[in-house]
Amino acid sequence: MERKIRILVVEDEAPIRNGLMDVLVYHGYEVDEAADGPTGLEKSLTGTFDLILLDIMLPGLDGYEICNRIRSRDREQPIIMLTAKTSDEDIIQGLSLGADDYIAKPFSVAQLVLRIQAVLRRSRIGVDMEHHIRLGDGIEVDTRNLCGCRGQETLSFTRREVEILQYLSANSERPVSRDELLSKLWGYSRSMDIETRTVDIHIAKLRRKIEPIPSAPRHLVTVRGAGYRLLPG
Ligand code: CA
């Protein structure tokens, strides 16, 4: 029998936590829970979870810090942050710590399940895709280990950054629109302002890593009115 997918829910508000657990169990997932920051961190680091749903405002230790601590140990752990905060600054901070996605509270059950499925699907697809991407200027990306080099310089990437590079690399003959990236990688069915910004934030972060001059990209270029294109080396 196939192993059940395990999800950890880190959320201090009991009604939300219990609601999430009910939904996840109903959809066939095996679920564990933590009601405060320290318990969430301990379970995250000692257990094996296919996905962690992580609230931001938690007693004891906040979700940003937990995400940071998980990432310093495990760059591949899929994490979705649950947030009531929606200001851009919060989103930028969360993404820079390497969360795979965000869900803003209140969220619909259907939306939640779709986003969970998308993150889980990507974390499996990633395993089967090309393991090395080579660009000009001596840039090489090791997609399995989320690292790379640019000449003598060592680079590290988040899972989502690598997925963007893989997707653009697999479609390098054409520009890829933000909507397509949102749909294929994030699992969104339609774009909204905040989500389009999410793509741009990731592209900007990637350019700071792979472009000798981020403001004048040569590898990850913008095609006006069409989207982004990765030029093979
Ligand atoms: Ca909370």
pTM, whole model, 2 decimals?
Answer: 0.58
Cα–Cα distance measured from residue 127 to residue 207, given in angstroms and rounded to the nearest whole number: 24
3-state helix, strand, coil in the chain (%, to 5): 45, 20, 35
Helix axes 14-26, 109-128, angle to 10 degrees: 60
User: pLDDT tens digit string along 149-176?
Assistant: 988 889 999 989 999 998 898 888 899 9
Q: Between 98 and 228, whose confidence is greater? A: 228
End position of a domain, from candidates 61, 92, 124: 124
Number of domains observed in the structure of the chain: 2
Cα–Cα distance measured from residue 113 to residue 50, given in angstroms and rounded to the nearest whole number: 14
- The pLDDT assigned to 24 comes to 93
Question: Which of 57, 33, 58 lies closest to 43, judged by CA?
Answer: 33
Same domain, 82 and 149: no
Same domain, 178 and 116: no
User: pLDDT tens digit string along 13-60?
Assistant: 999 999 999 999 998 899 999 999 999 999 999 998 999 999 999 999
User: pLDDT tens digit string along 170-216?
Assistant: 888 899 999 889 888 887 766 555 567 889 999 999 999 999 899 99
Question: Are 49 and 32 contacting, i.e. CB atoms less than 8 angstroms apart?
Answer: yes
- The pLDDT assigned to 195 comes to 67
List the CATH number of the domain containing 88: 3.40.50.2300
Widest distance between CA atoms in the chain: 53
- The pLDDT assigned to 108 comes to 85
Domain that holds residue 52: 6-124
Same domain, 151 and 185: yes
List the CATH number of the domain containing 218: 1.10.10.10
**Is 1 contained in some domain?**
no
Question: Which of 126, 130, 162, 157 lies closest to 50, judged by CA?
Answer: 126
Rounded distance from Cα 92 to ligand 1 centre (Å): 19
User: pLDDT tens digit string along 74-122?
Assistant: 878 899 988 876 666 666 676 667 788 888 888 888 888 888 988 887 7
Rounded distance from Cα 55 to ligand 1 centre (Å): 6
**Is 30 contained in some domain?**
yes
Same domain, 40 and 117: yes
Rounded distance from Cα 11 to ligand 1 centre (Å): 6
Cβ within 8 Å of residue 143, ≥6 positions away:
126, 129, 130, 131, 132, 133, 162, 165, 166
End position of a domain, from candidates 124, 148, 176: 124
Same domain, 10 and 120: yes
DSSP state letter for 176: B
What's the full length of the chain, in residues? Answer: 233
Rounded distance from Cα 210 to ligand 1 centre (Å): 36
